[in-house]
Structure 1
Amino acid sequence: MAQSLFITVEGIDGCGKSTQAGLIADALETAGRDVLRLREPGGIEISEQIRAILLDPENGEMGDVCELLLYEAARAQLVHQVIEPALAAGRTVVCDRFYDSTTAYQAFADGLDRDMVAQANELAVNGCRPDLTFVFDVPVEEAYRRRSGRGAEDRLELKGGAFQEKVAAGFRAIAAEEPARVKLIDAARSVEEVFADVSAELRAVGA
């Protein structure tokens, strides 16, 4: 059985992480791995329904703790129903966002107690942690430019540039704290240049 591998991609909206997640999945499939690509929140019906609640601009009165618990609920179901079984079967999972997003958004940007957020993350993932995480770092102004034309902004995007700056700073702090797992990638460059750095990190872990 092939050795399982759990890879997550992170960053502010518009950083290019979803594009890179697709390239990562394609490269690993070409290398012979059985790859499952997911997104958070979402990935399965229950979690997608929670995602709709979280991102709906009509839910502007949502409190920070309610938001945290909804993210964790979506994550817990995805881990239980999909991620844990896939890894147990030796598959490679590439997930667009995971618990580092909760730390960056809810702890660093919203200001919730970080220990509380960490405990909520741990409850949701039940010991299921990424082997490798990419944080795609890009200036907030560039991310906004890339998002323009996508249509109406979701509830989190509507929180504005100052909020996104706090999120970006949170991701950088996480990368500094866990350099063995979390790789900070300069994503202000071309897709090809960014993926060249990603590929080097994948080779470094034998992927």
Structure 2
Amino acid sequence: MSGLFITFEGVEGAGKTTALSYIHNQLTEAGYQVIQTREPGGIEIAEKIRDVILNPEHTAMEARTEALLYAAARRQHLVERVLPALEAGKIVLCDRFIDSSLAYQGYARGLGIDEVYEMNRFAIEDAMPDLTVLFRIDPVKGLERIAANKDREQNRLDLEKIDFHQKVFDAYELLIERFPDRIQSIDASQSAEVVQNECLKLIKNQLNVR
């Protein structure tokens, strides 16, 4: 793959989606070929799986079912959208990827980070991100942001209790230690402008060393 694969991670309400759009615009204006996408979703089949996973009515969904659905959506999105863009030399900015499954299903749901990692290795083979930007914020503050943003999509994960979201935060801290060469973190409690500029700096550094 000759392109650059960059993923954005964080707890609910961390502001990564807003920052991703800013980065997309900045890199496009600088002359780079960039695509912006998300997980689960990004293409028709994966968006339909997203509707099933995140539907607030599907509270009976079992943890392994949830993990498998995420992996299935990830596989289809990867082969249909991400890999072709990377092979064409483009920069792919993706809102969530494998680390979300490791944090949410592997750790917070209690399935095991290693177990969920192996499941997703089958789905993605060796297509790991070149850089993952982790937006670190206290989960309570993240949920407060969601409550204050009436335009944001409300999904099934937003209904989880705070201890679940705290586990997700703790999982990301573990992943920073596990993948220190790939995951770079940003203090997402800062102003949107500061966060976006720090994110852009990380990505420009990555572009210079590839």
- TM category, shorter: over 0.9
Query: 2: CA distance between counterparts of 1:122 and 1:58?
Result: 30
User: Number of aligned pairs?
Assistant: 206
Greater CA drift, 191-200 or 180-189: 191-200
Kindly state the Cα deviation for residue 203 of structure 1 after the two structures are TM-superposed.
2.5
Contact 1:83 / 1:93 at 8 angstroms: preserved in 2? yes
Q: Which amino acid aligns with 1:91?
A: K
Match for residue 162 of structure 1?
A: 163
- Tell me the alpha carbon deviations over residues 81-120 of structure 1, each in whole angstroms, 9 at most, x when there is no partner: 1111110111110000000000000111001022220111
Match for residue 182 of structure 1?
A: 183
Matches within 5 A, 1:61-80: 61-80=60-79
Kindly state the Cα deviation for residue 21 of structure 1 after the two structures are TM-superposed.
0.6
Match for residue 10 of structure 2?
A: 11
Q: Normalization by structure 1: what TM-score?
A: 0.95
Match for residue 53 of structure 1?
A: 52
Contact 2:67 / 2:105 at 8 angstroms: preserved in 1? yes
Query: 2: CA distance between counterparts of 1:116 and 1:123?
Result: 11
Paired residue secondary structure (1:171): helix
Query: 2: CA distance between counterparts of 1:200 and 1:82?
Result: 26
Contact 2:2 / 2:87 at 8 angstroms: preserved in 1? no
Query: 1: CA distance between counterparts of 2:85 and 2:197?
Result: 27
Contact 2:103 / 2:113 at 8 angstroms: preserved in 1? no
Indicate yes or no: 2:198 matched with 1:197. yes
Q: Normalization by structure 2: what TM-score?
A: 0.93
Contact 1:172 / 1:184 at 8 angstroms: preserved in 2? no
Greater CA drift, 167-176 or 88-97: 167-176
Indicate yes or no: 2:16 matched with 1:23. no
Q: Which amino acid aligns with 2:203?
A: L
Q: Which amino acid aligns with 2:196?
A: F
Greater CA drift, 133-142 or 173-182: 173-182
Indicate yes or no: 2:85 matched with 1:86. yes
Kindly state the Cα deviation for residue 3 of structure 1 after the two structures are TM-superposed.
4.5
CA distance 1:153–1:203, change in 2 (3 Å)? closer
Matches within 5 A, 1:39-50: 39-50=38-49
Kindly state the Cα deviation for residue 152 of structure 1 after the two structures are TM-superposed.
7.6
Paired residue secondary structure (2:156): coil
Match for residue 206 of structure 1?
A: 207
- Tell me the alpha carbon deviations over residues 107-166 of structure 1, each in whole angstroms, 9 at most, x when there is no partner: 110010222201111111121111011010111121111101437842111112110000
- Tell me the alpha carbon deviations over residues 9-44 of structure 1, each in whole angstroms, 9 at most, x when there is no partner: 000110000011111111211221111100000001
Query: 2: CA distance between counterparts of 1:152 and 1:198?
Result: 23
Query: 1: CA distance between counterparts of 2:204 and 2:35?
Result: 19
Overall identity of the aligned pairs, in %: 39
